Every structure is written in C-alpha cells, then in structure tokens.
Structure 1
Amino acid sequence: MRNEFTAIVERDGDWFVSYCPEIPGANGQGRSKEESLESLTQAIELVLEDRREDALRGVPAGALRETVTVG
C-alpha cells in the first residue's frame, strides 16, 4: 500500500468531481473521469507537500531527521 489513496468520483452534470477521504482538502474536477483523477492527483501532491513544509517549520534545530518508508 505504498502511495495509494482512495479516490471517490461523482458526476455533477457535465463534470466529474473527485476527492480523497484520507487527505482532507484534496479535491479534483474535470470533464472526464480521467481529468478529474489527474486533477485530484495534483491536489494530493500539493496538500502533502504543503503539510510537510508546515510540519518541518517547528522542528528544533538539534533534532535528528530520518526518512521512513511505509508499505
């Protein structure tokens, strides 16, 4: 389950809208399901990048920083 997220896609008239329940605030839209999913993918990337940057602002200067991989 590495870098996999749930995408919920709904049709709204001529548009497809999508969201990711695991990443609040990540939403996508498009004229096709594929466009909506691509838009959602970009939104997930932006949200995670922003949250990472925000979280790292508060890390003390002397703290060790390591990378872990899940999945």
Structure 2
Amino acid sequence: MKLPVVLRPGEDGWIVAECPVIPGCISQGQSRAEALANIQEAIELCLETRDEEGWSLPQSYEMLEVQIGG
C-alpha cells in the first residue's frame, strides 16, 4: 500500500512528516530519512487501530498543487 506523505521544515529545525489521508497522523525526525522512518511507523500504528477507532482510509484521493497569488 502506498500513501501520500508531506514533508516540511519544523520551527525547531526538525523535519515534520504528515500523512494527509489519516487525520492526526504526524511525526518528525532530525533528517529526511528519520522523518520518513518515523511517519511510516506512525502510519502502521494508525492502521492497526483504525477498526477499533471506527475510521477507514478513503477509497481514492487526488493530490494536487494550487498556486496562490500572482
């Protein structure tokens, strides 16, 4: 299974990683590799508890970029 992940710089110099199709699934790391390993673990933990928590992954989604301003 492949899921989207967004990486962005955090205020503290760490890299923040988030899976936008799983609300609240966010992690961080000191490097890109660490952030990706940590978000993968967070995603796996979220998926393990999804039935108990009563949510499911969307059947489909579309990733787009939008331009703001001129």
Between the two structures, name the one with larger relative contact order (CA 8 Å, sep ≥ 6): 1
Q: Deviation at 1:55? A: 6.1
Provide the identity percentage.
36
Alignment of 1:52-63 (within 5 A): 52=51, 54=52
CA RMSD of aligned residues (A): 1.7
Runs of 4+ in 1 over 6 A off after TM superposition: none
Structure 2 residue 7 is the aligned partner of structure 1 residue 9: yes
Matched residues, number: 53
Equivalent residue of 1:10, what SS? strand
Which runs of 5 or more structure 1 residues have no equivalent in the other structure? Answer: 57-71
Q: Deviation at 1:14? A: 1.8
- TM-score norm. by structure 2 comes to 0.68
Which runs of 5 or more structure 2 residues have no equivalent in the other structure? Answer: 55-70
- Specify the structure having the higher radius of gyration (Cα): 1
- Distance in 2 of aligned mates of 1:41 and 1:17: 13
